[in-house]
Chains A and B, each alone.
Chain A
Amino acid sequence: MRGELRKDEERPGESRASDPAWAIELERVARRFGEVSALDQVSLAVRSGEFFSLLGPSGCGKTTLLRLIAGLDLPDAGSVWIGGRDMARIPPHRRPVNTVFQSYALFPHLDVWHNIAFGLRMKGVPRAEQAERVGRIMEMVQVSNLARRKPHQLSGGQRQRVALARAIVNEPQVLLLDEPLGALDLKLRQQLQSELHDLQKRLGITFLYVTHDQDEALSMSDRIAVMNHGHIVQVGDSESIYESPRTRFVAQFLGSCNLIDGTIDGREGEAIVVRTAVGPLRLTSHPAASPPVPGQRCTLAVRPEKVSLAPRNGHLAANTLHAVVRDQVYSGAETQYLLSAADWSFRVCALNAGLNGRKYPPGSPVSALLPPESLIVLED
């Protein structure tokens, strides 16, 4: 229904592939601030109805990207398409998107009800409909009892809910969220994360979610784009981003990762053998893009929870290292070990399955198995 309506509005020249599957398309978008390149030739496509996260450290350009989509800033080059329409000449107040700002940016002189009704008022929605929609949204985000409060009388979590309500009451095609939970404490953040996730599924609105918190991105998103220095480094669903990071940056930014330098030695059946400081390691997965060339230097990564420890016995199997426990940190559900083998120190994370589970106090000699399928070759 909505797609048909939009098609009528579009003039033929403006419409491109007019594929309604894409909510947002960015084509080689660039933005510089003086000498600093905030975004460098970024291309990205977000599907309709998707919970899409932009993940990266502060200063990576993710907020700039959001502002370009909202129209609060203009790209130096490239184009922004929303719902199949070029946004080059569309001012922010006529774009079919709404933003939840990091600072919330609630109007201090208006009470909660009027803050939420703001967008509807600006568009001249009839009063009765305003009241009905505002009431419904306030119930949905559980702020009905705060209608007459001013923003300064609200807690952080309440402000966040009001900011969210103020945006979604307009029923945008895309909701842009700029680190909306950044200012809240952990407990509240986790609660609101799941509420946001449910809300997105219920409303079916495309969410573009900016965050620097990897746990948040992994647990909420359908897909994630990892950004660094104004580039998109990798796009994929949570699992593929976490399990097969392509670069050193992605591997280390999402969760912790043990890295070791090596040289490709050759093939051994299905496996690829890499010579490293701790001996030859076999691995089964390799990025298809670059076939292994013997003699080529590379970096291997392995997640701490993929390594398994066992008491050392004389026999040394393939991909097994003789290591010594340097330190251990007990943190309830799991125990973190810091180990060293030859010159390489690495981390291992073991679940505390039960009281009779094996413990390795500092100083104990162990053998650590690095399963071939868990070793990842990184592009540099």
Chain B
Amino acid sequence: MQNHSMPQTAGSAHPGMMSRHKRCRELWLSLATAGPGVFWLVFFLLVPFGLIAVISFLSRGPHGEIGLPWTLENYLRFCGFGLLGYDPLFPLILFRSLMLGAVTVLFCVGLGFPLAFFIAGLDGRHRNLALTLVIIPLWTNLLIRTYAWQILLAHDGWLSALAAFLGLISPGEALYPGWTAVTLGMVCDFLPFLVLPLYASVEKLDWNLVEAAMDLGASGAQVFRHAILPQVMPGLLAGVLLVFIPAVGQFVVPDLLGGAKILLLGNAIQLEFGSSNDWPFGSAITLLAMGLVMTGLWFYARMMGRRQEVGIL
């Protein structure tokens, strides 16, 4: 080879050396910038997650210690196959949690859609005000908000009186504790997470397409279905995920507003890692619930979004 004849071959005289140098430099740069984040993810997410995955296949000793042998018993128990024959306690807990998530999402979508369009229709100043009002509840501690609901919905509160007056409950009854209170608390907590991404989509809505649809003979409902929904789908999908996933695992609000009588996934996991001291079983619940929710959402995203357009999951 005539390495010296051309300037650009100066480097390729020792190609391995040069590129190794370069690669080293790039590695260092990547480590310095992405390193802390990667470290955080590895040590505080991946490692604990791996441990939980391993523990879920181990057995609990008589005093709560984790040990061999390997077993699938924790998973079978969650599915209902216990020592005393079939008992659907845990499948029911899972079902209840999923329902809570679904109901929360449903109400949030029902309220959030009109709200997002209303805010997007405001002029600049009022729009910022409205957005701030949507976000303000998030600045208050969740526990304080929840306790506030307890007071507002108690049997001597005016909301209960109003409900009784309207004939929704019998006089002397209260809205709290019960499902009404739980739903109300959940929807208020999670509404901003649906409204904000949805609003971002609605704000970018191309109204020309809406007019085109009307012009081509689409009635009101058809315009919504064929011209508006496809456009706001990314925001809606993001909002639904942001509400559904934490809502399924939520246990503070149902506990405080439901009167601590309803067992949900969150409570069950907390119980197994806490007072029951059964880490293998707690880990199994965690993994199964997560797996189920993730698979469900994956199908949901595929169905709703024809993935390449939505770009989530």
Which residue numbers of A lie inside 8 Å of B, CB to CB?
70-72, 91-94, 97-99, 101, 103, 105-109, 118-119, 122-123, 166-167, 170
Are the CB atoms of A107 and B227 closer together than 8 Å?
Answer: yes
Q: Mark B220-258, 1 if CB is under 8 A from A, else 0.
A: 001100110011000000000000000000000000000
Q: Quote the shortest CB–CB distance from B235 to chain A (angstroms).
A: 14
Among residues of A, the one whose C-beta sits closest to the C-beta of B209 is: A105
- Chain B residues, Cβ within 8 Å of A108: 209
The answer to whether residues A98 and B215 also contact, given A107-B230, A118-B226 and a CB cut-off of 8 A, is: yes
Chain A residues with CB under 8 Å of B215's CB are: 70, 72, 92-93, 97-99, 167
| Inter-chain contacts of B309 with A (CB < 8 A) | 109
Q: Which of B209, B214, B230 contacts A92 (CB 8 A)?
A: B214
For B223, list chain A residues within 8 Å (CB): 93
Q: Can you identify 26 A-B contacts, CB atoms within 8 angstroms?
A: A72-B215, A92-B214, A93-B214, A93-B216, A93-B219, A94-B217, A98-B216, A101-B208, A101-B211, A101-B212, A105-B206, A105-B208, A105-B209, A105-B211, A106-B212, A107-B213, A107-B230, A109-B231, A118-B213, A118-B226, A119-B216, A119-B217, A122-B216, A122-B218, A166-B216, A170-B216
Residues of A within 8 A of B217 (CB): 93-94, 119, 122-123, 170
Given A93-B218, A105-B211, A166-B216, 11 more pairs with CB closer than 8 A? A71-B214, A93-B214, A94-B217, A99-B211, A101-B211, A105-B212, A107-B226, A108-B209, A118-B226, A119-B216, A122-B213
The residue on A at minimum CB distance from B233 is A109
Q: How far does the Cβ of A120 sit from chain B's closest Cβ, in whole Å?
A: 9
Residues of A within 8 A of B219 (CB): 93, 122
Tell which of B212, B218, B219, B227 has the most Cβ of chain A within 10 Å: B212
Across the interface, which residues of B come within 8 angstroms of A70, CB to CB? 215
- Residues of A near B218 (CB, < 8 A) are 93, 118, 122
Residues of B within 8 A of A123 (CB): 217
In the assembled complex, how far is the CB of residue A112 from the closest CB belonging to chain B, in whole angstroms? Answer: 15
The 4 closest A-B pairs by CB, nearest first: A119-B216, A105-B212, A105-B208, A122-B217
Give A103 to B211 CA distance when docked, in angstroms. Answer: 12
Interface residues on B, range: 10 to 19
CA distance A92 to B219 in the complex (A): 9
Q: Most chain-A Cβ atoms within 10 A of its Cβ — which of B208, B209, B216, B230?
A: B216
Taking CB atoms, residues of chain B closer than 8 Å to A122 are 213, 216-219, 222, 226
Contact: A118 with B214, CB < 8 Å?
no
Chain B: CB-nearest residue to A150: B309
In the complex, which of the residues A92, A103, A109, A118 contacts B208, with contact meaning CB atoms closer than 8 Å? A103
Check B214–A107 contact: CB distance below 8 A.
no
Task: Find chain B residues with CB under 8 A from A92 CB.
Answer: 211, 214-215
Contact A99 B212 (CB under 8 A): yes
What is the CA–CA distance of A123 and B215 in the complex, to the nearest angstrom? 12
Distance in angstroms between the alpha carbons of A101 and B206 in the assembled complex: 13
Closest to B215 in A: A99
Complex Cα distance, B227 from A118, in Å, reads 11
Q: How many angstroms between the C-alpha atoms of A183 and B222 in the bound complex?
A: 30
Could you tell me the distance between the alpha carbons of A71 and B206 in the complex, rounded to whole angstroms?
A: 18
Question: Within 8 Å CB of B211, what residues of A?
Answer: 72, 92, 99, 101, 105
User: Cα distance A98–B217 when bound, in Å?
Assistant: 9
Q: How far is the CB of A80 from chain B (nearest CB, A)?
A: 15
Contacts of A99 in B (CB 8 A): 211-212, 215
Distance of A76 Cα from B291 Cα, bound (Å): 59
Closest residue of chain A to B214 (Cβ to Cβ) is: A92
Per-residue interface assignment for chain B, residues 175 to 217, with 1 indicating a CB less than 8 Å from any chain A CB and 0 otherwise:
0000000000000000000000000000000101101111111
Q: Which residues of B from 165 to 183 have beta carbons under 8 Å from A?
A: none
Closest A residue, CB atoms, query B216: A119
Report the separation of the CA atoms of residues A91 and B213 in the bound assembly, to the nearest whole angstrom: 12
CA–CA, A91 to B211, complex, Å?
12
Residues in B with CB closer than 8 Å to A72 are 211, 214-215
Contact B222 A107 (CB under 8 A): no
Residues of B within 8 A of A101 (CB): 208, 211-212
- Distance, CA A166 to CA B212, complexed state (A): 10
In the assembled complex, which residues on chain B have CB atoms less than 8 Å from the CB atom of A103?
A: 208
- Smallest CB–CB gap between B311 and chain A, Å? 13
User: Could you say which residues of chain B place their CB within 8 Å of the CB of A93?
Assistant: 214-219, 222-223
Minimum CB–CB distance for A188 against chain B, Å:
22
Taking the closest CB of chain A, its distance from the CB of B274, in whole angstroms, is: 48
Task: Enumerate B250-309 residues with CB–CB distance to A below 8 Å.
Answer: 309
With CB as the reference atom, state the residue of chain A lying closest to B208.
Answer: A105
A107 to B218, CA, bound (A): 13
Q: In whole Å, how far is B15's beta carbon from the nearest beta carbon of chain A?
A: 41
Distance to closest chain A CB from B227 (angstroms):
7
A118 touches B230 (CB 8 A): no
Which residue on chain A has the smallest CB distance to residue B210? A105
A98 to B231, CA, bound (A): 22
Bound Cα distance A170, B216 (Å): 8
Smallest CB separation, B301 vs chain A (Å): 16
Assembly CA distance A106 to B211 (angstroms)? 11
Residues of A within 8 A of B216 (CB): 93, 98, 118-119, 122, 166-167, 170
C-alpha spacing A92/B210, complex, angstroms: 11
Question: Of all chain B residues, which has the CB nearest A118?
Answer: B216
Cα–Cα, bound, A97→B216 (Å): 9
A99 to B211, CA, bound (A): 10
* Bound CA span A107–B211, Å: 11
List chain A residues, Cβ under 8 A from B208: 101, 103, 105
The CA-CA distance from A70 to B217 in the complex, in Å, is: 11
- Nearest Cβ distance between residue A65 and chain B, in whole angstroms? 15
CA distance A170 to B223 in the complex (A): 17
CA distance A14 to B240 in the complex (A): 49
A97 to B217, CA, bound (A): 9
Q: Which residues of B contact A119 (CB under 8 A)?
A: 216-217
Residue in B213, B223, B227 whose Cβ sees the most chain A Cβ within 10 Å: B213
B173 shortest CB reach to chain A, Å: 47
Query: What distance in Å separates the Cβ of B131 from its nearest Cβ neighbour in chain A?
Result: 26
